[in-house]
Chain A
């Protein structure tokens, strides 16, 4: 290749590279400006209604400077001998969130479910367990850990911890279905949509979307219900015995903190350092 042609190609290549990377540079340096200009249009419509939406999770926001951390206390003693309530909790959650009933353990999807003690608490001794422990099932769900391994391993930030309320949330739009989060979760709380879930949903809740196949899903602490001032679906399902308490773990005056002060509670696999937000009284 002669020298002129070589020089031309070098300059052309450099120009092409600059041309391709220019939009990237522009985007990186100006994205805050871009976002705020689009936001303006939507924000003016929504400015009036701050109060209501935040009320359900808001009462912690003023008092605890480090933010709200939602947690759940499940008093299993009030559910002993009531397998119907355990199933009711599962059914309520699954109905509200359009969770399909696949019908086999291979591809099933479950957000909250009852299981024996030695499965829900494998780090606790089931050696010579009491009669009550042997005969009853315990509720397992996502623990919404404070230091979640699933968030640590997700390669696209499709699952993330919401700083404002401590919920470990999922963005189904971004999930690529790599299932690394399912590997990372020490509690087996996550399910993958191995097939299209819609044929397996008996009735739709029109207020909530379904998922598509190829994404991972799990309990979301009913974030959308909290925004409307409602309580989590599982809590409502067992309200007659008041077995579930839900509230702000960072607020020393909240009901859940007071109950935690009074009673001894256990958590699932505490030695792994995930700092779960779900407590059990067994």
Chain B
């Protein structure tokens, strides 16, 4: 089926070339970082996790989002999602590859990465994160490939693949729970030390993943003659709405806990993110505009979807705008706000702000471009097989 990748119109190749340019720039930037050291990033002693890990955190969520297509179809027999589950699985593959690339870009001695496998450490959540990420990647590759192949051959998928499909369902929840556990078990980081971190991660994952899939479906409707169907998109929008509302509710709960208890540990990070932190005469507020954009985009997107449901209006344009708003809002919340907000007040109560460097942004964009490249290539295969089958 891989040969499907090699046939495409000029738009397809131009898109891949465009992404390829970013990938090359990213590769050069990474080479610089590999040769000269990680001081080329904006991270420092007090803020030692930055853009790479925050993007990794967000993308694990996007990978988990595929669950929202697999679960209804395979467990609840919701047939409308029949043609879309493969999109969820392929998005998970691309996202997980991006996650692994971000981790490799982030560690100081990447050539020693095998130490995590040679010296397994069950008490470390990073070890389990590696296990579940690689496990989920394998599951998605097996399930996606086997089911797509059997669809191409117009036969029922072999019985054994369903075992992997059913295992992948709790696995999807586990990848993001384990990633949340990286944060919510650290005693020194009070912004993250909350039981609601994991549910919040899952809620935003189940909104962000499907939102990206809906956007991909809308694009493919125009360029690849792939129509997911109005009913499927509507159901996905319902799922996205519920997940986004639950995520917003959880964030509001965080606000309550921080501000009502008035305990500085939990409050200061929120204050820095949303209002700016005043310390020693200097106001630290470089993330404030991003966080309020996140709020506006989230409620704007939700409002748009609500209007569409109530007024029974449905256009592709509105769906696309709404999903984009939700996706960007969740990216700002988790990809920028969560990690940076937790680290801005260091364990010695000093404040250090984070500004990524150009080299760091170059690597980040390169990895995102690789992910989109993979998504394009994998979706090309899936859609080509659909067309071949449907004649």
Q: Which residues of A line the B interface, CB within 8 A? A: 105-109, 115, 118-120, 122, 140, 149, 152-158, 174-180, 182-188, 191-196, 213-216, 269, 272-274
Residue from B112, B185, B187, B189 in contact with A174 in the complex, judged by beta carbons closer than 8 Å: B112
Number of interface residues of B (CB under 8 A): 41
Q: Is the CB of A213 within 8 A of B108?
A: yes
Contact flag A180-B37 (CB < 8 Å), given A149-B188, A153-B124: no
Q: Contacts of B121 on A, CB cut-off 8 Å? A: 154-157
Q: Contacts of B352 on A, CB cut-off 8 Å? A: 105
User: What is the chain A residue whose CB lies nearest that of B129?
Assistant: A155
Q: Contacts of B39 on A, CB cut-off 8 Å? A: 106-107, 194-195
A195 to B387, CA, bound (A): 53
Q: A17 → chain B, closest Cβ, in Å?
A: 15
Residue from B37, B108, B115, B346 in contact with A179 in the complex, judged by beta carbons closer than 8 Å: B108
Q: Is the CB of A176 within 8 A of B348?
A: no
Q: Is the CB of B44 within 8 A of A105?
A: yes
A174 to B121, CA, bound (A): 13
Q: A139 → chain B, closest Cβ, in Å?
A: 13
User: What is the chain A residue whose CB lies nearest that of B348?
Assistant: A119
Q: Which residues of B line the A interface, CB within 8 A? A: 36-39, 41, 43-46, 48-49, 103, 106-110, 112-113, 115-116, 119, 121, 123-127, 130, 182, 185-189, 346-350, 352
Known: A109-B45, A177-B38, A188-B347. 4 other contacts (CB 8 A): A152-B124, A153-B124, A154-B124, A192-B38
Q: Is the CB of B187 within 8 A of A274?
A: yes
Q: Is the CB of B189 within 8 A of A183?
A: yes
Q: Is the CB of B45 within 8 A of A107?
A: yes
A186 to B265, CA, bound (A): 12
Q: Contacts of A109 on B, CB cut-off 8 Å? A: 45
Q: Is the CB of A107 within 8 A of B347?
A: no
Q: Is the CB of B115 within 8 A of A176?
A: yes
Q: Is the CB of B188 within 8 A of A214?
A: no
A188 to B43, CA, bound (A): 15
User: What is the chain B residue whose CB lies nearest that of A178?
Assistant: B107
Q: Contacts of B108 on A, CB cut-off 8 Å? A: 175-179, 192-193, 213-216
A120 to B350, CA, bound (A): 10
Q: A152 → chain B, closest Cβ, in Å?
A: 5
Q: Is the CB of A157 within 8 A of B119?
A: yes
Q: Which of B36, B41, B108 has the most CB of A within 10 A?
A: B108
A selection of 22 A-B contacts at a CB cut-off of 8 Å is A106-B44, A119-B348, A153-B185, A155-B124, A155-B130, A174-B112, A175-B109, A175-B112, A176-B112, A177-B38, A177-B107, A183-B49, A183-B189, A185-B188, A192-B48, A193-B37, A193-B108, A194-B39, A195-B38, A213-B38, A214-B108, A273-B187
Q: Is the CB of A119 within 8 A of B350?
A: yes
User: What is the chain B residue whose CB lies nearest that of A189?
Assistant: B347
Q: Is the CB of B38 within 8 A of A194?
A: yes
